[in-house]
Amino acid sequence: RLDGEIATIGISAYALDQLGDIVFLELPEIGDSLEKGESFGSIESVKAVENMYPPVSGTVVECNQAMVD
């Protein structure tokens, strides 16, 4: 979701449903630069491990730490 110059990046409910239980999540650090189309982290479930790719370039200003905990 894009709101002005801030983009919120996440995975869809459908993707979560397909992945099943999440066992590991690798997220970028605040201040990291992301390049459109280049892997910035991964999500591991009981079914698969998938890299995550940003739809836009930018700098990480916040991460949902609750997802990691």
pLDDT score of 62 more than 80 = yes
| Upper half-sphere CA count for residue 32 (Cβ side, 13 Å) | 13
pLDDT score of 42 more than 80 = yes
The reported pLDDT for the residue numbered 4 is: 86
pLDDT score of 12 more than 80 = yes
- Rounded Cα distance between 62 and 32, Å, is 10
pLDDT score of 5 more than 90 = no
Structural domains of the chain ordered from first start: 2-68 (2.40.50.100)
Three-class secondary structure of residue 52 per DSSP: strand
pLDDT in tens, 17-29: 999 999 999 999 9
Average pLDDT, the chain: 90
